Chain A
Amino acid sequence: MQFPTLTSPHTERPNQVDQTMLMVVLALIPGALAMIWYFGWGILINLVLAAIAALLSEAMAQKLRGRPAFGTLRDLSALVTAMLFALALPPLLPWWLTVLGAAFAILVVKEMYGGIGYNPFNPAMAGYVLLLISYPVPMTTWLAPSVIAEHSLSFGQTLTAIFTRALPAGLSWDALTSATPLDSMRTQLDMNYTVTEIRESPLWGAFGGRGWEWAGNWFLLGGLFLLWRRVITWHIPAAVLGGLLAMATVFFLVDPDTHPFPLFHIFSGGAILCAFFIATDPVTASTTQKGQLIYGALIGIFIYIIRSWGGYPEAVAFAVLLMNMAAPTIDHYTQPRVFGHGRLSDD
C-alpha cells in the first residue's frame, strides 16, 4: 500500500469569507443565465437593481456603525444575498419593490442583528417574505417562460415596464403573464382536476413546468460545483431534497390523482436553489452534522406541507425562515460527543 506523498507547503491559506462568497457567486451564474434565457431581461435588471441596493445599504450601515465602509463590501456577502433575493423575484416586479426588499434584507435583517455572522435569519429570504406578504399581487405576477410565451419583451421594453409599468402598445399584462407551475397545479387541484388532466397543458415539461425545470437543472449544476469545491457539505442539500421527496412520495403513493408525482416538487419553484444555496447559508443553518441533517429534512418537509396546505403556492422562503428559528435549538441537542468524555447529560 502506498500513501500519496505531497511536497510542502502542507498548510493551505485559511479559507476566507470572500473566497467562499465568490464561489457561491460563480455557482449561481449558470442558473441565473438560464433564468434570464427563460424569463427575459427582467431577471438581469432585478439582479442589478438588487445588487446596487444591497451594496449601498451595506456601505451605509457600515458608515452608521462607524466601521470602514469597504470592510464588509469586499467579502461579497451582500452581493450573494442580493443575487439569491433577486433570483426569487418575478421578472417584471416594479423597481422600487426590488430596492425595498434588498435594503430591508441588508439593513434590518442582517446589519441590525450585528452584520455578517450574527443574523439569525437568512436575509435574502426575509426580504422576499417581506415583499410577498406586503405586496402579494405584483409578487405573484410571473411571466410565461420563453419556450411557450407568445410575446417576448426587448431589453428596452422590459426596462420601461419595470420602471414605469408601461407595456408596449397592443400588449396587456394578461397576455404576458402566466401562473407558475406550482400555482397552476394548486389552483387546478382545488378545482377538482386530476394531476393527469392538469399536465395536458403545454405549460408542463418532463418533471415540472417547462423552462422552470431547466433553470432548476442549472442551479443543480452550480450546487454540485459548490460540493466539489467543498464550499458546502452534502448534508443539508441531501436532507432538504430527501425530506421533500419523502413527503411527496408518501402522498403520491396514497393518491396519485390529487398529489403530483414526487419529482415535480423537486423541479418546481425554488426547491433546488433552496437546497444548495439558501438552506446551506453557514450563518443561519445548523452547524453540527447531525443537526444539519435534521435541519435540512425539516425544511424539505415544511416545503411540502406549506406548498400543499398553506396559503401561498411557494413555500421555500417560509420553510427556511421557520427552520432558521429552530437552528440554535437543533445545535444544542446535537453537539457531538467529545472524544474521551461520556455522553453529556442535558442540563
Chain B
Amino acid sequence: MRIIVTDLACRRGDRVLFAGLSLDVAAGEAVQVVGENGIGKSSLLRIVAGLAPAFAGSAKVIGVAGLLDERCALDPALALGRALEFWSGIDSGPPGKPERSHLERLGLAGLLDVPVRYLSTGQKKRAALARLLGQRAGVWLLDEPLNGLDGHAVELVEALAGEHCAAGGIAFIASHQPFRLEAMRSLRLAEFSA
C-alpha cells in the first residue's frame, strides 16, 4: 500500500492553494501535513481520498483508504450501536457487529444505546474512530483527528495511529495541533503555497 502524489496543485474558487506538491508515502509510514488554517490541508486529504478533483498533477492511493473528518457519518437519530452496525454491515458483511474490543478501548461500550445526536463532540469523534477501525483500511486519512478530544483521548488516538503504522498501515494526518508519533514526517504545506 502506498500514497503517490505527483506535482499536485489544488484550486479553491479562483485561488490556487498549493502547487508542485510531490510525495510518496510507503507502507508503515506516517506523515503529518502542517500549516495554518485555510492553507489547504483538508483539500489535500480530500484530493488524495479521490473526493475532490486535482487542479493539476495527480494523487492516488494504492490500497483501501479510510477517511476521518469532522463529520462522523453516523445517523444522528439512531443509537450509537445501531449506527455503527450499519457500517460494519457494509464493511464486513452480516452479522455486522462492531468489534467489542475497539469500543471498550475507545470508551464507547457504555454509550451504545445513546442516540448519536446526544453525543458530545469528543464522543462523536471517538465513534467515528470506531467506524474507521471497523473498516480495516490500510491507509488512514485523518483530518484534524484531535479536534474536540480531551488529553486522554488524544493519547489514545496517537497510540492507535502508532499501532496502525507498526502493523504496516499508512497514517496521513492533517492537523494544526502537535501529533506525537514516532518517526513521523512533517509536510509543510506553506512551502508549496502559490
Q: Do A and B bind each other?
A: no
Which A residues lie at the B interface, using CB under 8 A? Answer: none
Which B residues lie at the A interface, using CB under 8 A? Answer: none
